[in-house]
Chain A
């Protein structure tokens, strides 16, 4: 049977916990790092648009890492949840995964396509940031919805 490499099932629970922490931190802080000056640290920046050409590539800059930490937590958590094996992973769950990923990618690019034509400057940047989570969010939501639906249909004998 065709399968793709997935994380062990044990990653699922930590994934949900990380997502919960990430969402709680997002709601509590609003991604505003100004209230958390201790998160202003020196970080490696691969590319940074400044007036000084020497600091364009691979330079050390000062940055508040609150939004980076929350975003990375949400992505890591969602990857753990979405790409860890079900207890009984088989070709049927794989087919559900493919279908869910198809819709997730379709929605992601539809949103991206529309926003390219209708949003500009900071609003566009904001949308690109939020759209980061679209693929994983829709993929996970649809995958678990279809698993739930097939389980329900099985119990109802439909």
Chain B
């Protein structure tokens, strides 16, 4: 799963540490999410998006490979 948390952080001028504290997570967790080593739960993803004042789709998106398995119902 792609995400642009790093970009959102840069816009808001906050560090990983500050974001982690604001969301009650650890800096390791934020780093692992940013580097796509860990996919957050839906709740954590919603909270991250909410923190930046964005929708979840504006922060997180599926990679091309993942879209193959997520074709919308016709």
Contact = CB atoms under 8 A, between A and B. Distances in A.
B8 interface: no
Contact of A92 (B16, B32, B35): B32
Contact of B31 (A86, A88, A93, A153): A153
Interface in B5-58: 16, 20, 24-29, 31-33, 35, 37-38, 40-41, 43-44
A153 B20 CA distance: 16
A62 interface: no
Contacts of A90: 24-26, 29
Contact of A88 (B26, B33, B40): B26
A147 interface: yes
A154 B28 CA distance: 6
A147 B27 CA distance: 11
Interface in A1-33: 1-2
A95 interface: yes
Contacts of A141: none
B31 A150 contact: yes
A34 to B, nearest CB: 49
Contacts of B16: 154
A91 interface: yes
B25 A92 contact: yes
Contacts of A147: 28
B32 A150 contact: yes
A158 interface: yes
Interface of B: 16, 20, 24-29, 31-33, 35, 37-38, 40-41, 43-44
